[in-house]
Amino acid sequence: MPHFLFWNVGRKPIDEQIAAATLSNQVDLVVLAECKSDPNDLLRTLNQSASDYEYAPGVCESLLFFTKFDAKFLGLMEETTRISIRRLKLPAREELIVVGAHLPSKMHLSGESQIFGCVELAKMIDEQEKRVGHRRTILLGDLNVNPFEAGVVASSGLHAVATRDIASKGDRMVQGKRHTFFYNPMWKYCGDRHADSPGTYYYDNAEPLSYFWNTFDQVLIRPDLLSGFETDGLRVLTRAGQVDLVDSRGRPDKKRLSDHLPVLLNIRF
Amino acid sequence: MPEPIADFWPDDIGRSSLRTPGVILKEVASQLGTKTQQVVKADVRTSSGSDGQFYQYFVLVVPAMDNYKYQLFYLLHPITLYPLSLFWKDTWIPVASEEQLIEKVKEIIGSPETRKIIQALLSQVGSPNTSQELASRG
């Protein structure tokens, strides 16, 4: 079953930890945001014991893609400075659209502009899906908004819902227009109901409204791919190989490593 | 019998000397292909939102890469055209007039970032001559 990893590495020089997270989870496709490493250096680190990985270059400056597949199977479709849409065409498998995204943070844009960013991303995905004639799409990214925020949930936004049951309906009509669902399995990472982590990013701001734990790093799955996704096929990683990614309080160890935790997706397609 | 209502419409109502933001972007877009031997072209996509705004996306297109698109910037404007908002480099930029829009577009397409992106696209296609030519234009 192919494994996908997304990690906002927070501009930290943590190639060893990226390699550890990748190799210990046998990841097939790695998408990194805010990675300032030279792709060639990182590739050497990934391939220190076996030359399994390739760099799949794009023009999008916010995201780096590395893959265990032949990089030529990961074709570029459309990009912006913060979004990279690619088609993964593996032999003897159905094609997949893989979307990487790193949307602007709340520090740089208003809430309304963040919603607009999600709407734009949704439009780009829809257009590419129409172009290739299928909606076998996964999105991995730091959306800088939580799963419950309007840009992620609204029908004109990413339209990502919390349950497989609703997403499985495929789409819904809203004001005369059909909108396809995404399933957002990250809802289970909103809070401390399970063993991994209460979110992917911790921010303790001195304001009346503070979520403390946020789940900005998300994986969204189109209904057409849900049959290949098991409930335990998603994890927020708190360790990379032998290295703890969290501090003694269970929060991302942003002093040494990234302020975001990586997200691992296993999906059959 | 009542008298017919006079024609109140101004004589020049059917004539417009205005260039819409979309037309300006299309003119700029049409110039890129000749400078890259049509390896990298530019296009403008227009859509209208339910909020009454018009969206104009300035995209680079690489036909040899299965029509790969790179969205360089976009703007949204009301039916009255100005003031409009242009989104580039994670920032919303207010644009008050046609003159300001032309200045801003000139700045964007002449920026080091845009040059780097176009050179990267040319390299992906494997067009060193065009890439060097573009670089030498300084």
Using the predicted structure, report yes or no on whether residue B65 has a pLDDT greater than 90: yes
Write out the E strands in chain A: 3-8, 29-33, 54-55, 63-67, 74-79, 83-88, 96-102, 137-142, 160-161, 171-174, 177-180, 182-183, 201-203, 212-214, 217-221, 234-236, 239-240, 243-244, 263-266
Q: Does B5 reside within a domain?
A: no
Q: How far apart are CA A197 and CA A178, in angstroms?
A: 35
Q: Which of A138-142, A243-247, B88-92 shows the lowest mean pLDDT across its residues?
A: B88-92
Please report whether residue B92 resides in a domain. Answer: yes
The full set of domain ranges for chain A reads: 3-266
Q: Which whole number is the average pLDDT over A9-18?
A: 97
Q: Is B3 on the interface with A (CB under 8 A)?
A: no
Which of A78, A108, A123 lies closest to B90 in CB terms? A108
Query: pLDDT-derived band of residue A106, with 50, 70 and 90 as boundaries?
Result: confident
Buried b (16+ CB within 10 A) or exposed e, B102-131: bebbeebbeeeebeebbbbbbebbebeebb
Query: Would you say residue B124 lies in a domain?
Result: yes
B46 lies in a domain?
yes
Decide if pLDDT at A199 tops 80: yes
**Residue B1 placed within a domain:** no
Residue with tokens 């200045």: B103
Q: Are A19 and A46 in contact (CB under 8 A)?
A: yes
Cα–Cα–Cα angle for A122, A125, A127, rounded to 5 degrees: 110
Mean pLDDT of chain A: 95
CB contact under 8 A, B68 and A77: yes
Total domains in chain B come to 1
Kindly state whether A39 is in contact with chain B, defined as any CB-CB distance less than 8 angstroms: no
Is the pLDDT at B51 greater than 80? The verdict is no
**Whole-angstrom distance, CA of residue A186 vs CA of residue A162:** 8
Architecture of domain A3-266: 4-Layer Sandwich (3.60)
pLDDT tens digit sequence for A141-191: 999 999 999 999 999 999 999 999 999 999 999 999 999 999 999 999 999
Q: Which residue of B has its CA nearest to A175?
A: B50
Q: Which of A87-91, A108-112, A159-163, A208-212 has the lowest mean pLDDT?
A: A108-112
Chain B: give the shortest CA distance to residue A101, in Å: 14
By CB atoms closer than 10 A (0-12, 13-18, 19+), residue A72 is exposed
- Residue B43 forms part of a structural domain: yes
Q: Return the residue of A nearest to B72 by Cα.
A: A80
* Mean pLDDT (whole number) for B84-96: 94
pLDDT of residue B138: 36
Q: Average pLDDT, stretch B99-124?
A: 95
**Interface ipTM:** 0.88
pLDDT tops 70 at residue B133: no
Cβ contact (<8 Å) for B68 and A78? yes
What was the pLDDT predicted at A113? 79
| Chain B residue numbers touching A120 (CB-CB < 8 A) | 74
Q: Would the CB atoms of B68 and A109 count as touching at under 8 Å? A: no
**What's the maximum distance between 2 C-alpha atoms anywhere in chain A?**
55
Q: Is residue B59 part of a domain?
A: yes
Could you report the per-residue pLDDT of B113-124, keeping only the tens digit for each?
A: 999 999 999 988
